[in-house]
Amino acid sequence: MPTTTTSIYEQLKARLRDTVPDAELRLKAEIAERILELKRERNAVILAHNYMEPALFHSVPDFKGDSLELSRKAAETDAEVIVFCGVRFMAETAKILSPDKMVLLPAKKAGCSLAASITAEDVRNLKAQFPGVPVVTYVNTYADVKAETDICCTSSNAVKVVESLGDGPVIFLPDEYLAGNVARETGRRIIFPTKIPQARLDELEYQFIGWEGRCEVHERFTVEDIENARRQFPDVVVLAHPECPPEVVSAADFSGSTTAMIQYVQRNPKGRYLMLTECSMADNVMAENPDAEMLRMCSIRCPHMNEITLEDTLASLENLQYQIEVPEDIRVRAHRAVARMIEIGSKD
């Protein structure tokens, strides 16, 4: 049955009446109806990361969640076009896994401070400095960086990936705080190449070789944020993303990927929560879990994720604009690193 503007508006109002003004919901519903029509015409699949604006997140996506899982789901469809409502490295990953599909990013740039913190040349230099040491690269990186890597990881499987490589030293890129959190969990000490330019391989056993890259959203959360929340709301449950500083993760009640945080709330739907991640995610989780109370103490939004709106998504589908391309030699090598990670996960 065709989805009408009225039905979309009613659906959005039921979920977002406490988050988005009514007049805006009516306008967004009209845009969403046109997107859904175009999606059918183009044989497209729409992916939405958990950080997308609520009106988009709750109206047009076929799949919602973390970036890698979204790319994997899209690859399994018969869609000819993938519209990735996220940031550029996510759309690149979709192209890596679906080379024969057109991949659209509904923004001209939609970059990422973390992904931009390291280049393929940086990785090559590290491999030359520490020959033979395996390179683990977070999926929040661009395709040419993935191509220089031995294996990728996500925030949820980073520990498992590292442990799969044995007890020797590991180069873990590029998130400084995720590396610190994984190093702590695996009992390793993290060191940075800029501080040990003459380090010898036999001195690196059981160590993490990190990189000083950070997410501009997650790096801003502090232990003081948690303490302030607990003073006002002693029963609050604090959920922190692993890209937060290690001292913040240690002070939180739970740390996990965006999907893991959502699942935590779903298992405990009547709790009071403070989510230390991008603000839109708390709005989206609250809309789908109305019995949960999300403290509105977040003031940190990702400027890159916020480049994408329903209006941008419509323009992307109308004009097939901002197509993502990955050179085949880079794509093949990057795919190898992603596939190796997926293979490790399949052994559970």
The residue to which tokens 């604006």 are assigned: 53
Pairing of strands 102-104, 293-294: unpaired
What is the CB neighbour count within 10 angstroms for residue 197?
Answer: 7
CB within 8 Å of 201: residues ≥ 6 apart: 130, 131, 132, 133, 169
Tell which CATH classification among 3.40.50.10800, 3.40.605.10, 3.40.50.300, 1.10.3720.10 matches the domain 218-294: 3.40.50.10800
Q: Which has more confidence, 228 or 346? A: 228
The rounded distance, in Å, linking the Cα atoms of 85 and 285 is 17
The residue to which tokens 């998504």 are assigned: 313
Pairing of strands 63-65, 293-294: unpaired
For residue range 71-124, list pLDDT tens digits in order: 999 999 999 999 999 999 999 999 999 999 999 999 999 999 999 999 999 999
The rounded distance, in Å, linking the Cα atoms of 138 and 35 is 32
Query: What percent of the chain lies above the pLDDT cut of 90?
Result: 81
User: With 50 as the cut, is the pLDDT of residue 1 above it?
Assistant: no
Alpha helices in 137-193 (DSSP H): 143-146, 158-163, 176-186
Domain ranges of the chain: 5-112+305-319, 115-214, 218-294
Q: Which of 11-15, 50-54, 55-59, 195-199 has the lowest mean pLDDT?
A: 195-199
What is the CB neighbour count within 10 angstroms for residue 262?
Answer: 22
Mean pLDDT, the chain, whole residue set: 92
Token digits of residue 105? 């990013």
Alpha carbon separation from 335 to 59, 152, 158, 326 (Å, rounded): 31, 10, 17, 11
Give the sign of the dihedral formed by CA 304, CA 310, CA 315, CA 320. positive
Assess whether the previous peptide bond of 303 is cis (omega < 30° from 0).
no
How high is the pLDDT of residue 300?
A: 82
Contact 81, 323 (CB under 8 A): no
CATH number of 5-112+305-319: 3.40.50.10800
Contact 306, 285 (CB under 8 A): no
For domain 115-214, give the CATH superfamily: NadA-like (3.40.50.10800)
How high is the pLDDT of residue 200?
A: 58
Residue type, 208: F
The residue to which tokens 């490589």 are assigned: 165
How high is the pLDDT of residue 348?
A: 39
How high is the pLDDT of residue 196?
A: 59
CB within 8 Å of 112: residues ≥ 6 apart: 87, 88, 89, 140, 215, 304
Pairing of strands 207-209, 189-191: parallel
The secondary structure of 198-244 as a DSSP string is T--GGG-TTEEE---B--TTGGG--HHHHHHHHHH-TT-EEEE-TTS
In CATH terms, are 115-214 and 218-294 the same topology? yes
Token digits of residue 180? 């610190």
Containing H/E element for 287? helix 279-288
